Structure 1
Amino acid sequence: MSEAHDYVLVLYYSRTGQTAEMASQIARGVARINGMEARVRTVPPVSADTDASAPAVPDTGAPYCSKDDLKNCAALALGSPTRFGNMAAPLKYFLDSTGDLWLSGALADKPGGAFTSTGSLHGGQETTILSMMLPLLHHGMIVCGVPYSESALNETRSGGTPYGPSHWAGTGAQQALTDHEKAICQTFGQRLASIALRLAPNRNS
Structure 2
Amino acid sequence: MSAPYVLVLYYSRHGATASMARFIAEGVEQGGMEARVRTVPSVSTDTRATAPAVPESGAVYCTEDDIKQCAGLILGSPTRFGNMAAPLKYFVDGTSSLWLSGTLAGKPAAVFTSTASLHGGQESTLLSMQIPLLHHGMLLVGLPYTESALTDTRGGGTPYGASHHAGADGKRPIDSHETQLCRALGKRVADIALQLQRGASRGQS
Q: In the superposition, relative to structure 1, how do residues 150 and 51 fare at CA in structure 2: closer, same or farther (>3 Å)?
A: farther
Q: Distance in 2 between matches of 1:196 and 1:146?
A: 16
Q: 2:20 aligns with which of 19, 22, 28?
A: 22
Q: 2:185 aligns with which of 149, 168, 188?
A: 188
Alignment of 1:13-52 (within 5 A): 13-34=11-32, 36-48=33-45
Q: In the superposition, relative to structure 1, how do residues 56 and 187 fare at CA in structure 2: closer, same or farther (>3 Å)?
A: same
Q: Distance in 2 between matches of 1:172 and 1:6?
A: 38
In structure 1, the residue matched to 2:135 is: 138
Alignment of 1:1-205 (within 5 A): 3-4=1-2, 6-34=4-32, 36-48=33-45, 53-172=50-169, 174-203=171-200, 205=204
Q: Distance in 1 between matches of 2:95 and 2:56?
A: 25
Q: In the superposition, relative to structure 1, how do residues 8 and 157 fare at CA in structure 2: closer, same or farther (>3 Å)?
A: same
SS of residue in 2 equivalent to 1:112? strand
Asked whether the equivalents of residues 44 and 53 of structure 1 are also in contact (C-alpha less than 8 Å), the reply is no
Matched AA of 2:88: L
What is the aligned-residue RMSD (CA, Å)?
1.5
Asked whether the equivalents of residues 156 and 164 of structure 2 are also in contact (C-alpha less than 8 Å), the reply is yes
Asked whether the equivalents of residues 155 and 164 of structure 2 are also in contact (C-alpha less than 8 Å), the reply is yes
Query: How far off is 1:51 after superposition?
Result: 7.7
Query: How far off is 1:203 after superposition?
Result: 4.8
- TM-score normalised to the size of structure 2? 0.94
Gaps of 5+ in 1: none
Q: Distance in 1 between matches of 2:170 and 2:139?
A: 37
Query: How far off is 1:83 after superposition?
Result: 0.2
Q: Distance in 1 between matches of 2:34 and 2:186?
A: 10
SS of residue in 1 equivalent to 2:75? strand
Q: Distance in 2 between matches of 1:182 and 1:39?
A: 19
- TM-score normalised to the size of structure 1? 0.94
SS of residue in 2 equivalent to 1:58? coil
Matched AA of 2:165: W
May I ask how many residue pairs the two structures share in their alignment?
A: 202
Asked whether the equivalents of residues 28 and 187 of structure 2 are also in contact (C-alpha less than 8 Å), the reply is yes
Q: Distance in 1 between matches of 2:49 and 2:200?
A: 33
The one-character-per-residue Cα deviations of 1:119-139 (angstroms, maximum 9, x if unpaired) are: 000000000000000010000
Q: Distance in 1 between matches of 2:3 and 2:49?
A: 28
Aligned identity (percent) is 62
